[in-house]
């Protein structure tokens, strides 16, 4: 029957197994050939995190870096513009530091609670520049909320944590002060019918009371002589024993004794460099 191969019934299983082995070998060779020419796995971009085909990986990485750099530059320009607008804004004069008047107040002195200095000046002060109370701790205050915590009675800016308590105490003090003024006015009105000598006596009494208040720190020595100790004769740093104060140059402030001034390089009020000092006996 032509050239077609003919097999007997006894040889058919052998040729069938041989044909199956040949098909398996051809399939294995085809798979190896396909794996030889197959592309490697996708690579992950370190900028955006996407998996990219290796053929396109280099171009994608350069473009991704360029876009990322452009976005960062625009973000920095926006931040610089916002900072410039913030610096050029005309703030209320009450928000400036009471020492340098060059920056906004950002720290509160504790325990008094006065917000009075910026970050640069507050580190050099050991006493509150408003009430002269010793500094026990510091508290940072948000600069955008300064005037919201301004006491309506005394006009000072107080730390947010102490504002409510300070407002109540300050209001009570103002109420007592107003009652004292009303009582004094009523007494002046009731004594208006008296003669000029009575008015002179009242004025002399007021002067005497004022002098007594100013000399509240007066003490008696062993000889019975009254000696007045003014607070301006005490060094604001040691304030222990009375020593002659010195005038710091070139600023001219008279706050420290000779011993304390020799150990400082800057004035505690204006923070100017101390070039020399002059002893004062007034």
pLDDT digits (tens, 9 = 90+) for 90-105: 567 778 888 888 888 8
Residue 8 confidence class, pLDDT cut points 50, 70, 90: low
Q: Which residues, at least 6 apart from 140, have a Cβ–Cβ distance to it below 8 Å?
A: 106, 107, 108
Distance, in Å, from the CA atom of 140 to the CA atom of 253, rounded to the nearest integer, reads: 28
Distance, in Å, from the CA atom of 151 to the CA atom of 64, rounded to the nearest integer, reads: 54
Question: Which tens digit of pLDDT belongs to each residue from 39-72?
Answer: 457 788 887 888 888 888 888 888 888 888 788 8
Residue count of the chain = 282
* Domain 231-279: CATH architecture, name and number where available: 2-Layer Sandwich (3.30)
- Per the prediction, the chain carries an average pLDDT of 71
Q: What is the mean pLDDT of residues 125-138?
A: 88
Q: What is the mean pLDDT of residues 175-203?
A: 66
CA-based diameter of the chain, in Å? 163
CATH number of 90-181: 3.30.40.10
Question: Which tens digit of pLDDT belongs to each residue from 19-44?
Answer: 666 666 676 666 656 555 454 577 88
Q: Check for a shared fold between 90-181 and 231-279.
A: yes
The domain limits of the chain are: 43-88, 90-181, 231-279
Distance, in Å, from the CA atom of 132 to the CA atom of 209, rounded to the nearest integer, reads: 25
Is the pLDDT at 257 greater than 80? The verdict is yes
Beta bridge partners of 266: 273
């Amino acid at each position: 029957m032509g050239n077609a191969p003919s097999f007997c019934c006894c040889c058919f299983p052998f040729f069938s197994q041989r044909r199956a082995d040949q098909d398996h070998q051809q399939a294995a060779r085809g798979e190896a050939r396909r794996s030889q020419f197959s592309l490697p796995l996708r690579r992950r971009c370190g900028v955006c995190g996407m998996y990219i085909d290796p053929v396109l990986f280099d171009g994608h990485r350069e473009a991704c870096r360029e876009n990322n750099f452009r976005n960062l530059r625009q973000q920095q320009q926006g931040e610089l513009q916002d900072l410039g607008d913030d610096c050029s804004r005309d703030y209320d004069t009450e928000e400036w530091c009471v020492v340098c008047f060059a920056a906004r107040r950002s720290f509160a002195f504790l325990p008094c609670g006065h917000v009075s200095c910026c970050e640069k000046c507050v580190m050099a002060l050991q006493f509150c520049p408003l009430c002269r109370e010793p500094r026990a701790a510091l508290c940072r205050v948000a600069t955008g909320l300064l005037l919201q915590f301004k006491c309506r009675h005394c006009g000072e800016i107080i730390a947010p944590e102490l504002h409510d308590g300070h407002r109540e105490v300050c209001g009570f003090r103002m109420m007592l002060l107003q009652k004292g003024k009303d009582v004094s006015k009523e007494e002046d009105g009731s004594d208006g019918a008296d003669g000029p000598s009575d008015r002179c006596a009242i004025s002399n009494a007021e002067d005497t009371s004022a002098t007594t208040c100013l000399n509240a720190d007066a003490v008696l020595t062993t000889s019975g002589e009254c000696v007045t100790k003014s607070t301006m004769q005490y060094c604001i740093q040691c304030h222990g024993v009375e020593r002659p104060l010195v005038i710091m140059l070139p600023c001219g402030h008279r706050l420290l004794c000779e011993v304390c001034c020799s150990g400082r390089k800057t004035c505690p009020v204006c923070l100017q460099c101390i070039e020399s000092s002059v002893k004062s006996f007034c």
